[in-house]
Structure 1
Amino acid sequence: MVKVYEVTKGIDSEFQRRITDLLMGQMESLGTKDAYEQVSTTVELALKEDSQAHIFVAEKDDTLVGAAFFNVALSIDKGGHYIWLNDLYVHQEHRNRGIAKKLLLHVIHWAEQQNIKGMELETGINNGATKALYNSLGFYDIISKRYGFRF
């Protein structure tokens, strides 16, 4: 049975390492040179008390098999707080078993309890399975062009 829960702020470094190891599966396909340090630092920052980032994990038999990583921000357009879902990741060996849907439903339920006004995310244009999941839960396409900048 898969258990989904929010990771509490201030967890021990061993659990942070387990989350980092899981999320490395998401980064490895990107081939980033300093990926492990980047993910580790981000997880550490996300779990600080003053962070607006949250991590939900899916665990099966004491093994982390999936994670949802998101930030809460303010939006004039939404009229309050909304979620930007940075990552929804399920380990390759555990895909197509409803884990991503279970993670996302937990995030949605949490958001409703927090009076969050909406959620946004992005996925690859050719990622049909993920787009089908999002659409099945009521997400809709937003036509836009996203831009980025690195310091």
Structure 2
Amino acid sequence: MEIRELEQERQIRDAFPVMKQLRNHLDEEAYVALVKEAKEKDMYRLFGLFKGEEIVAVTGFKPMITLYYGRFVWVCDLVVREDKRSLGYGEKLLSFVHQWAKEEGYEKAALSSGLQRENAHCFYEQKMNYDRVSFVFKKDLKR
């Protein structure tokens, strides 16, 4: 297993079938455009966990600074290919994010998870020792 940053457009596209399992509202073109813009404007980083040359998990995150959390990494996306779940890939990839954050001087990691994703909540709280600290609210400004 190897974790590699996905920087070139071809690499970003190669990760789409895995990312689509989490972000199923996006088509490939919208996904690529958003990744490119986030990388350019928001310090977004995209990594894939490879087994051989096959991408089995993907994470996207960005370093941030807020008054609430201080210096931290926000995990925007974390998804393991559906047929490869519960094999330790999510733990390996999220542990990589934690190590990256520590090495870069960030003090915390944070993320949000959809209310319906109860298995993910168990993973974050029980396996990865995350604390449930808040609700996340959003408002669609197009309405």
TM category (shorter chain) comes to 0.7 to 0.9
Runs of 4+ in 1 over 6 A off after TM superposition: none
Aligned to 2:20: 24
User: May I ask how many residue pairs the two structures share in their alignment?
Assistant: 141
Deviation string 1:61-82 (CA, Å, 9 cap, x unpaired) is 2011111111222111223x21
CA distance in 2, matches of 1:85, 1:5: 16
Q: Within 1, Cα distance between the matches of 2:135 and 2:117?
A: 17
Counterpart of 1:133? 123
Task: Report the TM-score, using the length of structure 2 for normalisation.
Answer: 0.84
The corresponding residue for 1:36 is 28
Matched, 1:53 2:44: yes
8 Å CA contact 1:4–1:59 kept in 2: the answer is yes
Distance in 1 (alpha carbons) for counterparts of 2:58 and 2:43: 16
Q: Which amino acid aligns with 2:35?
A: V
Aligned equivalents of 2:117, 2:22: Cα separation in 1: 14
Q: Secondary structure at the match of 1:26?
A: coil
Q: Secondary structure at the match of 2:137?
A: coil
Deviations, residues 105-144 of structure 1 (Å, cap 9, x unaligned):
0000100111112121111334332222212322100133
- Paired AA for residue 73 in structure 1: M
Asked if 2 retains the 8 angstrom alpha-carbon contact of 1:56 and 1:107, the reply is no
The percent identity for this pair of structures is 18
Look up the match of 1:122. 112
Indicate conservation of the 8 Å contact 1:46/1:52, yes or no: yes
Q: Which amino acid aligns with 1:16?
A: I
Distance 1:116 1:149, change over 3 A: farther
AA matched with 2:34? T
Residues of 1 paired with 2:90 and 2:108: CA distance? 19
Q: 1:15 and 1:40 mapped to 2: Cα distance? A: 10
Where does residue 71 of structure 1 map in the other structure?
A: 62
- Identify the residue that residue 5 of structure 2 maps to in structure 1: 6
Of 130-139 and 66-75, the range deviating more from structure 2: 130-139
8 Å contact 1:85–1:120 — kept in the other structure? Answer: yes
Query: Where in structure 1 are there 5+ consecutive unaligned residues?
Result: none
Secondary structure of residue in 1 paired with 2:138: coil
